[in-house]
Amino acid sequence: MKRWLNPGFGLVFLFVLGMGLAPVFSKDAAAREVGFTVLLAISMATSLNIITGYTGYVSFGHVVFYGLGGYVGMYLIDKWNAPLPLAVLGGGAVAAVLAFLLGKAILRLRGAYFALATIGINEAMRTFVSNFAPFGGPTGIELQFSVYKPYGGAAQALWMTYYAVVGIAAFSVVFSYFLKTSKFGLGLMAIREDEDAAEVVGVVAPSAKTLAYVLSAFLPGMLGVLFFFKNGNVEPGDAFRLHFSIETLVMMMLGGQGTVMGPVIGALGYQRLRGVLLTSDVKIGALPLKDFQLVIAGGLMLLIILFIPAGLVGWLRQRFARLRRYLV
């Protein structure tokens, strides 16, 4: 139980919890919206970190779990009047099952082949859902306003989804830390460093990888339900946006992949930057700065990949060897 006592872990856990609870006490709806986006990003990056950061399999298709989970949850709510918690669990469960089935097949591929396959799966799913009549085809699913009634109206429902996302974000950090420091987590990192050597020393790589994939998939599945429930509708283009997958990779990498703190810091930093760029009044020539949001984000990302590829936490770990124990 000494793992609980690591101050680095305590700090990042309390930080996420504190940031999540601040809008609850201030009752500030604007702060809640910002908080929702940031906490969603933190949970997405943290869950991606399990398969990509710990296990070393670069997934460009993380959003497929988010999208499919979201669709399943919306379907349960819209067609079967399922209560939100059940829909959220349903979304997570279906995402986990998809990861299990996919894992059996595509985790045999290594390196760039795996990355390409995940892109293919996301696109296959997006084009399939666009044709799938029960999910509303290309127009998707739109919730009736009355579904928010059992939660005390739409305003109250927004707060409920927020509490849920705070809970998921806090859980994701705890989960990520305990996974990393467990024997299973060590096995995953051994796979990342050298899969063949890991097998020789007794890591059963195929099942370990599949389990890691499943564990990284159920959180996005749940988050998708929350996001689209709050949004009121879901469409194939929003649910399976490849760009979102890549943003998640970037956030994970900014902070430092393979660490618990990294995805949290990266997600927070990336979302803050985006917020600043989108709301800025500065102009470049005749065009507002927000038109250059993508350019600036891309330029910054390039600089980080070229010069600090280990991310902020990874860089600090290399630079200050003494702090390594705390920089989990």
Partner 1 sequence: MDAITILSSLLDGLLIGFVYGIAAMGLNLIWGVMRVINLTHGALIALGMFGVYLLFSGLGLNPYLALILVAALGLLAGIAIYYVAIERVINAPHLSTLLATFSVNMIIIGLGTAVFTTTPRDTGFSLGSIRAGPVTLLGTRLVATLITLLVTGLLYAYLYRTRAGKSIRAVSNNRAAAELMGIPSKRILALSFGLGTMLAAIAGGLIATFFSFTILSGSVYELKSFIIGVLGGLGNPLGALLGGLILGVLEGVLPLAMPNTWVPVIEFLLFILILLLKPNGLLGGKQ
Structure tokens that stand for 34 in this block: 């910002």
Please state, in angstroms and as integers, the Cα–Cα distance from residue 147 to each residue in 77, 139, 263, 316, following that order: 8, 19, 34, 48
Of 183, 154, 173, nearest in space to 41 by CA: 173
Does 323 sit near partner 1 (CB under 8 A)? Answer: no
Indicate which single residue of 101, 155, 302, 323 sits in contact with partner 1 (rule: CB under 8 A).
302
| Minimum distance of partner 1 from residue 92's CB (angstroms) | 24
Residues 208-247, one symbol each (x = binds partner 1 by CB under 8 A, - = not), give --------------------------------------x-
Cα(28)–Cα(152) distance, rounded to whole angstroms? 18
Of 41, 53, 52, 48, nearest in space to 269 by CA: 41
| Minimum distance of partner 1 from residue 20's CB (angstroms) | 28
Number of residues that this document lists for the chain: 328
Q: Which is nearer to partner 1, 68 or 226 (CB)?
A: 68
Instruction: Tell me which stretch binds partner 1 (CB under 8 A): 115-123, 145-153, 202-210, 219-227.
Output: 115-123
Instruction: Tell me which stretch binds partner 1 (CB under 8 A): 80-88, 113-121, 222-230, 262-270.
Output: 113-121
Does 143 sit near partner 1 (CB under 8 A)? Answer: no
Indicate which single residue of 108, 149, 283, 325 sits in contact with partner 1 (rule: CB under 8 A).
108
H-run or E-run covering 171: helix 153-180
Does 298 sit near partner 1 (CB under 8 A)? Answer: yes
Cα(313)–Cα(164) distance, rounded to whole angstroms? 28
Q: Looking up tokens 């194939």, which residue turns up? A: 236
Q: Which is nearer to partner 1, 120 or 153 (CB)?
A: 120
Angle 29-48/242-255 helices, nearest 10 degrees?
80
- Give the three-state DSSP class for 107: coil
Return residues touching partner 1 (CB under 8 A).
52, 56, 58, 60, 105-106, 108-109, 111-113, 115-117, 119-121, 123-124, 127-128, 130-131, 138, 246, 249-250, 253, 257, 287, 291-299, 301-302, 305-306, 309
